[in-house]
Amino acid sequence: MTENRIAIAIGSDHAGFRLKESLRDSLGEMGYAVKDVGTYSEESCDYPDLALAVAETVAQGEADKGVLVCGTGAGMAMAANKVPGIRAVACNEPYTAEYCRLHNDANVLALAGRSVDEATAFAIADAFLATAFEGGRHQRRVDQITGMESQP
């Protein structure tokens, strides 16, 4: 096992709870430092609360990357993207996860607990976490996105 101290904040709502639990344990076994912000049961809860917790942990530099799981990944990505500095992407396959790191410097991955099987989710998370941002011309474009945060 490669010791890897990249810090990850992970969170889910009730729909993503089971996948979040599996991912948290697997990523921890892979050597990532994983902070689980909840939810901690399958009791119904509101996904924006968990998206905010993960997004703020990443935006404040307490984690390098965030992983969120809800039913579709969509609501989590929408909510996380309201936090300045966050570039969250809902991914259903590894290709998007790889390229949103290479080209978009995405820092939060959102997964669909109700439509993506566990093995695929692990492959998506692995692609996301193992891929570095390419920079270069892509940095200019990411800077343009960041610039939108301060537009009136």
Instruction: Give the shortest CB-13-to-ligand RB5 separation in angstroms.
Output: 5
Query: From the CB of 115, what's the least distance to ligand RB5, in Å?
Result: 9
Torsion, Cα 72 78 84 85, to 10 degrees, reads: 40
Distance CA 9, CA 106 (A): 14
- Rule CB under 6 A: say whether 71 interacts with ligand RB5: yes
Number of amino acids touching ligand RB5 (CB under 6 A): 8
> How buried is 144 (Cβ within 10 angstroms: 0-12 exposed, 13-18 middle, 19+ buried)?
exposed
| Helices 17-29, 118-130: inter-axial angle, 10-degree rounding | 50
**Tokens coding 108:** 């939060």
Which of 44/151 has CB closer to ligand RB5? 44
Which of 14, 70, 91, 100 is catalytic? The answer is 70
Question: In the complex with ligand RB5, which residue's Cβ is closer, 44 or 150?
Answer: 44
Quote the CA–CA distance of 88 and 65 in Å, as a whole number.
10
Query: Which listed residue (53, 59, 70, 89) binds ligand RB5 by CB under 6 A?
Result: 70
Q: Which of 30, 102, 32, 104 is nearest to 65 (CA)?
A: 32
Query: Per CB under 6 A, does 47 bind ligand RB5?
Result: yes
* Binder among 8, 15, 23, 58 for ligand RB5 (CB under 6 A): 15
* Residues in contact with ligand RB5 by the rule CB under 6 A: 13, 15, 47, 70-72, 74-75
Q: Which residues are catalytic?
A: 70, 103
